Amino acid sequence: MAREPIRANAPVETVPYLQSVIPPNRLDYLVEICRAALRRCPGHVVEIGVYRGGSLSRLAEVVAEVCPAYRAIGIDTFAGHPYSDGHSVHPQGKYADVDMRQLAGRLAGQPQGRLIELHAGLVETLLPDLALKDVAFAHVDCDLYLPVRFCAQHLPAVMKAGGTIFFDDYGHEHCPGATRAVSEVFAENRLHQVSMPDDGTCWSCYLRLD
Protein backbone atom coordinates (compact mmCIF):
# COMPACT_ATOMS: atom_id res chain seq x y z
CA MET A 1 0.00 0.00 0.00
CA ALA A 2 1.34 3.44 -0.91
CA ARG A 3 2.22 5.63 2.05
CA GLU A 4 0.04 8.70 2.49
CA PRO A 5 1.91 11.95 1.79
CA ILE A 6 2.79 13.95 4.90
CA ARG A 7 1.23 17.37 4.38
CA ALA A 8 2.27 20.02 6.86
CA ASN A 9 1.03 23.37 5.57
CA ALA A 10 -1.67 23.52 8.24
CA PRO A 11 -0.52 25.39 11.38
CA VAL A 12 0.63 23.23 14.28
CA GLU A 13 -0.45 24.68 17.60
CA THR A 14 1.10 22.23 20.07
CA VAL A 15 2.81 18.85 20.41
CA PRO A 16 3.68 16.60 23.38
CA TYR A 17 7.05 17.03 25.10
CA LEU A 18 9.99 15.58 23.14
CA GLN A 19 8.01 15.73 19.91
CA SER A 20 8.51 18.29 17.15
CA VAL A 21 6.19 20.48 15.13
CA ILE A 22 8.43 19.56 12.17
CA PRO A 23 6.85 16.70 10.16
CA PRO A 24 8.65 13.35 10.57
CA ASN A 25 10.03 13.21 7.03
CA ARG A 26 11.47 16.70 7.28
CA LEU A 27 12.85 16.03 10.76
CA ASP A 28 14.65 12.96 9.43
CA TYR A 29 16.13 15.10 6.66
CA LEU A 30 17.28 17.73 9.18
CA VAL A 31 18.97 15.00 11.24
CA GLU A 32 20.83 13.69 8.20
CA ILE A 33 22.09 17.17 7.28
CA CYS A 34 23.30 17.55 10.87
CA ARG A 35 25.01 14.15 10.79
CA ALA A 36 26.83 15.05 7.56
CA ALA A 37 27.98 18.37 9.05
CA LEU A 38 29.33 16.76 12.23
CA ARG A 39 31.15 14.05 10.32
CA ARG A 40 32.73 16.72 8.16
CA CYS A 41 33.75 18.96 11.06
CA PRO A 42 32.92 17.78 14.59
CA GLY A 43 31.61 20.52 16.87
CA HIS A 44 28.72 21.79 18.94
CA VAL A 45 25.12 21.86 17.72
CA VAL A 46 22.98 24.93 18.45
CA GLU A 47 19.22 25.08 18.06
CA ILE A 48 17.39 28.40 18.25
CA GLY A 49 13.71 27.68 18.73
CA VAL A 50 13.42 24.58 20.93
CA TYR A 51 9.76 24.62 21.98
CA ARG A 52 9.07 21.15 23.45
CA GLY A 53 12.41 19.61 22.57
CA GLY A 54 11.60 17.14 19.81
CA SER A 55 14.17 18.26 17.27
CA LEU A 56 16.80 19.14 19.89
CA SER A 57 16.57 15.63 21.32
CA ARG A 58 17.11 14.12 17.87
CA LEU A 59 20.04 16.43 17.12
CA ALA A 60 21.61 15.54 20.46
CA GLU A 61 21.44 11.87 19.46
CA VAL A 62 23.61 12.74 16.46
CA VAL A 63 26.11 14.56 18.66
CA ALA A 64 26.29 11.51 20.94
CA GLU A 65 26.81 9.26 17.93
CA VAL A 66 29.37 11.31 15.99
CA CYS A 67 31.22 13.61 18.39
CA PRO A 68 30.23 13.07 22.04
CA ALA A 69 32.88 15.48 23.33
CA TYR A 70 30.63 18.31 22.13
CA ARG A 71 27.22 19.60 23.24
CA ALA A 72 23.72 20.25 21.92
CA ILE A 73 22.74 23.76 23.02
CA GLY A 74 19.11 24.91 22.94
CA ILE A 75 18.07 28.56 23.00
CA ASP A 76 14.43 29.64 23.37
CA THR A 77 12.34 32.14 25.28
CA PHE A 78 10.34 29.16 26.63
CA ALA A 79 7.55 31.72 26.90
CA GLY A 80 6.34 31.77 23.31
CA HIS A 81 6.90 34.31 20.55
CA PRO A 82 8.06 37.57 22.20
CA TYR A 83 6.53 39.58 19.34
CA SER A 84 4.85 39.01 15.99
CA ASP A 85 5.54 39.81 12.35
CA GLY A 86 1.82 40.38 11.94
CA HIS A 87 1.08 37.00 10.37
CA SER A 88 -2.04 35.39 11.80
CA VAL A 89 -0.36 31.98 12.22
CA HIS A 90 2.38 33.39 14.46
CA PRO A 91 0.91 35.82 16.99
CA GLN A 92 2.78 37.05 20.03
CA GLY A 93 2.75 34.35 22.72
CA LYS A 94 2.39 31.36 20.41
CA TYR A 95 4.21 28.24 21.71
CA ALA A 96 4.10 29.50 25.30
CA ASP A 97 2.73 26.16 26.53
CA VAL A 98 6.08 24.81 27.69
CA ASP A 99 7.55 24.50 31.17
CA MET A 100 11.33 24.75 30.89
CA ARG A 101 11.93 22.77 34.08
CA GLN A 102 9.68 19.94 32.91
CA LEU A 103 11.34 19.95 29.50
CA ALA A 104 14.82 19.92 31.03
CA GLY A 105 13.86 16.93 33.19
CA ARG A 106 12.52 14.98 30.24
CA LEU A 107 15.61 15.74 28.14
CA ALA A 108 17.88 14.75 31.03
CA GLY A 109 16.14 11.37 31.13
CA GLN A 110 17.19 10.59 27.57
CA PRO A 111 20.45 8.65 26.93
CA GLN A 112 21.86 11.73 25.19
CA GLY A 113 20.57 14.07 27.89
CA ARG A 114 24.00 14.69 29.44
CA LEU A 115 25.02 16.51 26.25
CA ILE A 116 22.07 18.93 26.24
CA GLU A 117 22.01 22.38 27.79
CA LEU A 118 19.14 24.89 27.67
CA HIS A 119 19.23 28.68 27.79
CA ALA A 120 16.11 30.81 28.23
CA GLY A 121 15.75 34.27 26.74
CA LEU A 122 15.91 36.23 23.52
CA VAL A 123 18.57 34.94 21.14
CA GLU A 124 19.52 38.55 20.46
CA THR A 125 20.62 38.80 24.10
CA LEU A 126 21.77 35.27 24.84
CA LEU A 127 23.95 34.49 21.85
CA PRO A 128 26.56 37.20 22.55
CA ASP A 129 26.63 36.35 26.26
CA LEU A 130 27.19 32.63 25.65
CA ALA A 131 30.46 33.34 23.82
CA LEU A 132 30.07 30.21 21.73
CA LYS A 133 32.74 28.83 19.45
CA ASP A 134 33.34 25.59 17.53
CA VAL A 135 29.73 25.28 16.42
CA ALA A 136 29.41 22.84 13.53
CA PHE A 137 25.65 22.85 13.01
CA ALA A 138 22.95 25.40 13.79
CA HIS A 139 19.21 24.87 13.43
CA VAL A 140 17.32 28.17 13.28
CA ASP A 141 13.58 27.70 13.86
CA CYS A 142 12.37 31.08 15.10
CA ASP A 143 9.52 31.77 12.62
CA LEU A 144 9.98 35.56 12.87
CA TYR A 145 12.02 38.20 11.06
CA LEU A 146 14.05 39.73 13.91
CA PRO A 147 15.50 36.58 15.54
CA VAL A 148 16.11 34.88 12.19
CA ARG A 149 17.95 37.92 10.84
CA PHE A 150 20.02 38.14 14.03
CA CYS A 151 20.98 34.47 13.72
CA ALA A 152 21.86 34.86 10.04
CA GLN A 153 24.11 37.81 10.82
CA HIS A 154 25.83 36.49 13.95
CA LEU A 155 25.99 32.69 13.80
CA PRO A 156 28.69 32.49 11.10
CA ALA A 157 31.16 34.17 13.44
CA VAL A 158 30.90 31.34 16.01
CA MET A 159 30.89 28.46 13.54
CA LYS A 160 33.64 26.25 12.20
CA ALA A 161 34.68 26.26 8.56
CA GLY A 162 32.63 23.56 6.88
CA GLY A 163 29.75 23.98 9.31
CA THR A 164 26.10 24.25 8.32
CA ILE A 165 23.26 26.62 9.22
CA PHE A 166 19.79 25.18 8.62
CA PHE A 167 16.95 27.73 8.40
CA ASP A 168 13.77 25.82 9.06
CA ASP A 169 11.24 28.44 7.93
CA TYR A 170 12.78 29.76 4.72
CA GLY A 171 10.14 29.83 1.99
CA HIS A 172 7.29 28.77 4.26
CA GLU A 173 4.04 30.59 3.52
CA HIS A 174 3.42 31.16 7.24
CA CYS A 175 6.85 32.71 7.89
CA PRO A 176 7.41 35.51 5.37
CA GLY A 177 9.55 37.45 7.85
CA ALA A 178 11.93 34.52 8.26
CA THR A 179 12.26 34.17 4.50
CA ARG A 180 12.94 37.90 4.09
CA ALA A 181 15.55 37.84 6.86
CA VAL A 182 17.58 35.05 5.25
CA SER A 183 17.32 36.62 1.79
CA GLU A 184 18.55 39.96 3.09
CA VAL A 185 21.67 38.46 4.65
CA PHE A 186 22.69 35.77 2.16
CA ALA A 187 22.76 35.62 -1.62
CA GLU A 188 20.23 33.09 -2.84
CA ASN A 189 22.83 31.16 -4.85
CA ARG A 190 24.49 30.18 -1.56
CA LEU A 191 21.34 28.59 -0.19
CA HIS A 192 20.35 24.95 -0.68
CA GLN A 193 16.56 24.86 -0.88
CA VAL A 194 14.90 21.85 0.78
CA SER A 195 12.27 20.21 -1.40
CA MET A 196 10.58 17.03 -0.23
CA PRO A 197 9.35 14.88 -3.13
CA ASP A 198 7.35 12.56 -0.87
CA ASP A 199 4.98 15.29 0.28
CA GLY A 200 5.48 18.00 -2.31
CA THR A 201 6.51 20.68 0.18
CA CYS A 202 9.31 23.13 -0.47
CA TRP A 203 10.54 25.14 2.46
CA SER A 204 13.66 25.32 4.64
CA CYS A 205 17.16 25.89 3.34
CA TYR A 206 20.69 25.37 4.55
CA LEU A 207 24.00 27.10 4.05
CA ARG A 208 27.47 25.55 4.07
CA LEU A 209 30.15 27.80 5.59
CA ASP A 210 33.14 26.70 3.47
Dihedral Cα 171, 163, 57, 62, nearest 10 deg: 130
The pLDDT tens digits of the residues spanning 101-126 come to 999 999 999 999 999 999 999 999 99
Q: 24-209 maps to which CATH number?
A: 3.40.50.150
- pLDDT tens readout for residues 51-92: 999 999 999 999 999 999 999 999 999 999 999 999 999 999
pLDDT digits 0-9 by tens, 124-152: 999 999 989 999 999 999 999 999 999 99
Q: What percentage of the chain exceeds 90 in pLDDT? A: 89
Q: Is the pLDDT of residue 5 over 60?
A: no
Q: Which band of pLDDT confidence, cut at 50, 70 and 90, is reported for residue 9?
A: low
Average pLDDT over residues 92-98: 97
Q: Is the pLDDT of residue 4 over 70?
A: no
Q: pLDDT category, 3, cuts 50, 70, 90? A: very low
- DSSP state letter for 16: -
131 close to 155: Cβ distance less than 8 angstroms: no
Q: Classify each residue of 126-137 as buried b or exposed e, where b means 16 or more C-beta atoms within 10 Å of its C-beta.
A: bbeeeebeebbb
In contact, 50 and 159? CB cutoff 8 Å: no
pLDDT at 199: 84
pLDDT band of 8, cuts 50, 70, 90: low
The pLDDT, as a whole number, for residue 71 is: 98
Domain ranges of the chain: 24-209
Q: List phi, psi (to 5°) of 205.
A: -155, 165
